[in-house]
C-alpha cells in the first residue's frame, strides 16, 4: 500500500472520528456510535503501529479495493469467518444489483440514433462506466458516455458511481462536451484519491447527424463507414490526473448507416490461450466486414463483437471488465 494511499485514508478516518465523537457527545446513550468510534480508534492505532492494512491472521496485505471501501477491515478474504463470508457475498450481490440498476436501457432509439451496449463486469461489480443521457427530454440531443475507472472490484465501482453522478449533474447545464469534461475532471479530482483516475469518452449527438466527441485518455473510438474504418484518438488526459486539465472536442457528421464503436480494454487487451491480445487490428477487420452488411443494427453489431471476442478467447478466462457501446445513425 502506497504512503499516499495511507495518508488519504488516515485523513479520512480522522475526519470520521471527529464526526463520531460529536455524535457520541450528542447521543451518549447510542451504543452503536461508541462501538464504531472504538473501531476507528483501533484503525488509527494500527496506522501508528505500522500494521494497518495487514491481515491479523496471515499478516499479508488486505486487498486494496476492499480496504479503500472499508478502512476498518482487519482480515483478508482468505481468512474471513464463515459468517463474514456470507455477509460479504450478500453485500456484493446487492452492490451488483445496484450497479446494474444504474445502467441505461440496453437499447436506446431516439432522434435518429440508436445505441446498444454490452456490459460485463469482471466480478460482482466493475469499474467500467456506461451511460446514455437525454439532457433535455424535449430536445434533440443525446449524451453517450463510456469509460474505465482505474482498479477493479468494489472500490472501482464506487468511483464509477461517483463519476456517473458528477456527469449527470452537469448534463442538464447545456455545456459543450469539452467544457463538461473539464468541469467533471475538476470535481472528480476533488473527491477522489490521488492514486485513482478514469478514462472517458463523451459524445453528444444531434438529430441532423452531428456529433461532438471528446476523449479523455481512453481507447480510440472507431468510426465505421461502409467504405472505411477510422480510429479517432484521445484528445486529453484521463480524468483525475490533474485538476487543471482542459479538454477539446472534435466535430463529426455521421450519415445514415454509419457507426461509432466505443469499448474498454476488456475487449482489446483480452487474451486467448496463447496469451495473444485481441487488439485493434482484429477489431478493425471485424468492423470492416460488418460495415458492408446493409441494414445492420447497433444491437447486431454489438452482439457480433461479443461473439468474435468469445471465439478469439476460446475458453480463456476474462481478466478485466468488458463494455462495448455502438452508436448508429439511423
Question: What is the CATH classification number for the domain harbouring 19?
Answer: 1.20.120.910
Choose among 181, 180, 162: nearest CA to 172.
Answer: 180
Mean pLDDT in residue range 36-63: 91
Does residue 258 lie in a domain region?
yes
Pairing of strands 128-133, 322-329: unpaired
pLDDT in the model for residue 237: 93
Sheet order of strands, 141-149 included: 128-133, 141-149, 198-206, 210-216, 250-253
**Per-residue pLDDT at 51 exceeds 80:** yes
**Residue bearing the bigger pLDDT, 192 or 185:** 185
pLDDT in the model for residue 15: 84
Does residue 85 lie in a domain region?
no
Does residue 317 lie in a domain region?
yes
pLDDT in the model for residue 2: 59
pLDDT in the model for residue 133: 94
Does residue 70 lie in a domain region?
yes
**Per-residue pLDDT at 49 exceeds 80:** yes
Residue percentage of the chain with pLDDT more than 70 = 97
**Per-residue pLDDT at 3 exceeds 90:** no
Helix (H, G, I), strand (E, B) or coil at 25: helix
Does residue 92 lie in a domain region?
no
Domain boundary among 79, 111, 140: 79
Q: How far is CA 182 from CA 14, 142, 238, 243, 258, in A?
A: 31, 19, 11, 9, 28
Which CATH number does the domain housing residue 178 bear? 3.60.40.10
Residue 134: Cβ within 10 Å count: 17
Q: Collect all residues with Cβ–Cβ distance below 8 Å to 139 and sequence separation of at least 6.
A: none
Say whether both 232 and 301 belong to one domain.
Answer: yes
Say whether both 109 and 9 belong to one domain.
Answer: no
pLDDT in the model for residue 90: 85
Q: Can you give the residue range of the structural domain that contains 160?
A: 103-329
Say whether both 55 and 196 belong to one domain.
Answer: no
Residue pair 161/198 in contact by the 8 Å Cβ criterion? no
Rounded Cα gap, residues 155 and 42, in angstroms: 22
**Per-residue pLDDT at 1 exceeds 60:** no
Q: Which three cell numbers stand for residue 137?
A: 427530454
**Per-residue pLDDT at 266 exceeds 70:** yes
Would you give the end-to-end CA distance of the chain in angstroms? 49
User: What tens digit of pLDDT does each residue of 69-101 get?
Assistant: 788 889 888 888 888 888 878 887 888 888 888
pLDDT in the model for residue 203: 97
pLDDT in the model for residue 174: 87
User: What tens digit of pLDDT does each residue of 15-33 get?
Assistant: 888 888 888 888 877 778 8
User: What tens digit of pLDDT does each residue of 206-251 get?
Assistant: 988 999 999 999 999 999 999 999 999 998 999 998 989 999 999 9
Q: How confident is the model at residue 128 (pLDDT cuts 50, 70, 90)?
A: very high
Average pLDDT, the chain: 90
Does residue 93 lie in a domain region?
no
Does residue 318 lie in a domain region?
yes
Mean pLDDT in residue range 3-11: 75
Counting Cα atoms < 13 Å in the Cβ hemisphere of 31 gives 0
Say whether both 197 and 240 belong to one domain.
Answer: yes
Say whether both 75 and 197 belong to one domain.
Answer: no
pLDDT in the model for residue 92: 79
Q: What residues does 206 pair with on adjacent strands?
A: 141
Rounded Cα gap, residues 21 and 327, in angstroms: 51
Alpha-carbon dihedral angle through residues 119, 263, 227, 212, given to the nearest 10 degrees: 100
Number of domains in the chain: 2
pLDDT in the model for residue 26: 81
Amino acid at each position: 500500500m502506497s504512503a499516499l494511499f495511507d495518508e488519504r485514508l488516515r485523513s479520512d478516518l480522522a475526519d470520521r472520528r471527529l464526526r463520531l465523537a460529536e455524535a457520541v457527545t450528542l447521543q451518549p446513550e447510542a451504543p452503536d456510535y461508541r462501538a464504531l468510534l472504538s473501531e476507528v480508534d483501533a484503525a488509527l492505532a494500527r496506522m501508528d503501529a505500522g500494521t494497518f492494512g495487514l491481515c491479523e491472521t496471515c499478516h499479508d496485505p488486505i486487498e486494496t479495493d476492499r480496504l479503500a471501501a472499508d478502512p476498518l477491515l482487519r482480515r483478508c478474504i482468505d481468512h474471513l469467518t464463515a459468517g463474514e463470508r456470507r455477509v460479504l457475498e450478500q453485500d456484493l450481490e446487492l452492490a451488483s444489483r445496484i450497479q446494474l440498476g444504474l445502467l441505461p436501457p440496453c437499447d436506446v432509439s431516439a432522434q435518429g440514433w440508436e445505441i446498444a451496449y454490452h456490459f460485463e463486469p469482471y466480478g460482482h461489480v466493475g469499474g467500467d462506466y456506461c451511460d446514455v443521457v437525454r439532457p433535455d427530454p424535449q430536445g434533440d440531443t443525446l449524451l453517450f458516455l463510456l469509460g474505465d475507472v482505474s482498479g477493479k472490484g468494489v472500490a472501482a465501482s464506487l468511483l464509477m458511481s461517483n463519476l456517473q453522478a458528477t456527469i449527470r449533474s452537469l448534463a442538464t447545464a447545456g455545456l459543450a462536451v469539452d467544457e463538461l469534461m473539464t468541469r467533471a475532471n475538476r470535481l472528480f479530482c476533488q473527491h477522489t484519491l490521488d492514486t485513482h483516475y478514469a478514462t472517458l469518452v463523451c459524445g453528444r449527438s444531434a438529430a441532423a447527424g452531428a456529433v461532438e466527441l471528446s476523449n479523455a485518455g481512453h481507447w480510440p473510438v472507431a468510426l465505421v463507414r461502409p467504405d472505411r474504418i477510422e480510429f479517432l484518438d484521445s484528445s486529453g488526459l484521463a480524468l483525475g490526473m490533474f485538476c487543471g486539465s482542459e479538454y477539446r472536442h472534435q466535430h463529426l457528421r455521421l450519415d445514415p448507416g454509419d457507426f461509432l464503436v466505443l469499448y474498454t480494454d476488456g475487449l482489446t487487451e483480452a487474451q486467448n490461450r496463447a496469451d495473444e491480445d485481441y487488439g485493434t487490428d482484429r477489431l478493425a477487420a471485424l468492423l470492416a466486414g460488418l460495415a458492408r452488411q446493409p441494414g445492420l443494427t447497433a444491437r447486431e453489431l454489438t452482439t457480433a463483437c461479443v461473439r468474435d471476442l468469445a471465439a478469439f478467447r476460446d475458453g480463456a478466462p476474462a481478466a478485466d471488465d468488458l463494455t462495448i457501446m455502438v452508436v448508429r445513425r439511423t
